[in-house]
């Protein structure tokens, strides 16, 4: 059992790619590449993944959980849950973690995503995704995914949202303990 745990935590994706170099060149899709791997390599790849909590990019705002999960899948991470600000029945605002969100769950400013990925760089794609810079997610290459960083569009959107929410954040109805998970 202990051997299995240590083997899972020391998984190396590059070693698995070296076993089948013909399919892992830059002009092939990563899906096709992983299909050539043995089941053990796929198992160890999955077992070596970790869960991360990342802020969601403004490109996710207004989208449903399902739409966001599909975008995250195309960014090569798996969206498990969303942390959003909600007002409870008593009028208190707090953070809620939606593991199985309802149909009308919409991503808003300040939402954070629980994602599963191989590395923190993979998880950061949720934070840096820009729908203007990457309008077609189906054709993203590995190099585009690797070099995804915060762009000018996201910075402009953040500045606009900061100005709009200044008055909202100063509302007298918000309790001092607004970061408690309900």
- Tell whether 76 is covered by a domain: yes
* Alpha carbon distance 171, 169 (integer Å): 6
7, part of any domain: no
Whether residue 14 lies inside any domain: the answer is no
Question: What is the span of the domain harbouring residue 79?
Answer: 49-169
Q: Which H or E element spans position 64? A: none
Please report whether residue 38 resides in a domain.
no
At 102, list the tokens: 């309802």
Sheet holding 93-98, edge to edge: 50-55, 112-117, 78-87, 93-98
d(Cα 79, Cα 97) in Å, to the nearest integer? Answer: 13
Give me the number of domains the chain comprises.
1
Given this model, what pLDDT does residue 85 score? 81
Query: Helix (H, G, I), strand (E, B), or coil: what is residue 118?
Result: coil
Query: pLDDT above 90 covers what percent of the chain?
Result: 26
In a domain, 39, yes or no: no
Query: Is 101 within a domain?
Result: yes
Q: The whole model's pTM is what?
A: 0.66
| Average pLDDT rounded to a whole number, residues 55-83 | 92
* Residue 132, domain CATH: 3.30.70.1450
| SS3 at position 12 | coil
Does residue 5 belong to any structural domain of this protein? no
Short-list 39, 36, 42, CA closest to 24? 36
- Asked if 69 and 79 touch (Cβ cutoff 8 Å), the reply is yes
CA torsion through residues 56, 59, 62, 66, sign: negative
The pLDDT value given to residue 33: 64
Per the DSSP assignment, residues forming a β-bridge with 96 are 84
Give residue-wise pLDDT tens across range 143-181. 888 888 888 776 665 555 544 443 344 444 444 433 333
Partnered with residue 122 across adjacent β-strands are none
Q: What is the pLDDT of residue 169?
A: 44
Residue 128: exposed, middle, or buried by beta-carbon count in 10 A (0-12, 13-18, 19+)?
buried
Asked if the structure places residue 24 within a domain, the reply is no
């Amino acid at each position: 059992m202990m051997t299995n745990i240590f083997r899972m935590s020391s998984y190396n994706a590059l070693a698995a790619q070296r076993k089948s170099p013909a399919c892992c060149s830059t002009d092939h899709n990563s899906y096709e590449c992983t299909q050539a791997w043995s089941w053990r390599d796929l198992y160890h790849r999955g077992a070596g993944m970790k869960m991360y909590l990342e802020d969601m990019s403004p490109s996710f705002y207004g989208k449903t959980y399902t739409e966001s999960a599909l975008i995250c899948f195309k960014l090569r991470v798996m969206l498990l849950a969303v942390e959003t600000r909600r007002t409870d029945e008593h009028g208190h605002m707090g953070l809620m973690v939606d593991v199985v969100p309802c149909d009308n769950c919409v991503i808003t400013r300040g939402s954070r995503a629980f994602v599963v990925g191989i590395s923190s760089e993979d998880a950061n794609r949720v934070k840096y995704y820009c729908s203007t810079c990457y309008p077609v997610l189906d054709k993203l290459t590995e190099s585009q995914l690797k070099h995804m960083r915060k762009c000018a569009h996201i910075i402009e959107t953040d500045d606009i949202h900061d100005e709009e929410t200044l008055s909202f954040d100063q509302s007298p109805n918000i309790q001092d303990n607004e970061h408690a998970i309900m």
